[in-house]
Amino acid sequence: MGKFTAYGAGVAICGAFIIGSATPASALASDERAMTVQGIDVEAAQAAGAIVRTRADGRDEVTLPSGRSLTVVDGRVLPGEGRGTSVGNCGTSTVYGNRTTRKYSTGYVISPAWGAPVSHTWSVTVSTSNSIRAYNNSGLAPISASWNSGWKSISQAGSINSMMASGNVLTSWGLICSSGNPTWK
């Protein structure tokens, strides 16, 4: 069996999606990007009901409870492998920014076909005229397919140039969904 080694133990996860009604009219810009499957904890997937078969070439074929099938080598999901499944689009990630209020908001939505979000490692990196700083937004996922940070203050000095949200979401089926690094300018 392949092991989840490519991303290390305890990787929790990512993303960004803001529900339109939660976005104030004063928000000046946003960006939304597709999230992609990057890895899998094969043992966690099995515990959640996935069927794992080791092929003759040593690769694991993992069939998720949703019926999607992935080919895995040492915790890495191979792109385009497994019964016509295209690896990608496990959800969307978003970042919003507001120069006037000096705030950002970020979040994600995970497609149910990839399992429910469990936890996330997530940060928003803000560039100003004086510095670059990463704001940590990691934590446990809510009991839903989406997570939103709410509006967070930017405490560094200088004019805000840009920000980028990045991270990973661990799903209940052991998958690692990575953000597409949405960028606000």
The DSSP call for residue 30 is E
Tell me how crowded residue 144 is: count the other CB atoms within 10 A of its CB. 10
- Please give the residue that has the higher pLDDT: either 27 or 149: 149
- Percent of the residues in the chain that have a pLDDT greater than 70, as a whole number: 79
The domains of the chain are located at: 1-185
- Please give the residue that has the higher pLDDT: either 9 or 136: 136
Residue 40 β-bridge partners: 175
Tell me how crowded residue 43 is: count the other CB atoms within 10 A of its CB. 15
Question: pTM score > 0.85 for this model?
Answer: no
Here the tokens at position 28 are 């000046």
Q: Which amino acid, one-letter code, is at 76?
A: R
Tell me the pLDDT tens digit for each residue of 87-136: 457 888 999 999 889 999 999 999 988 899 999 999 999 999 999 999 99
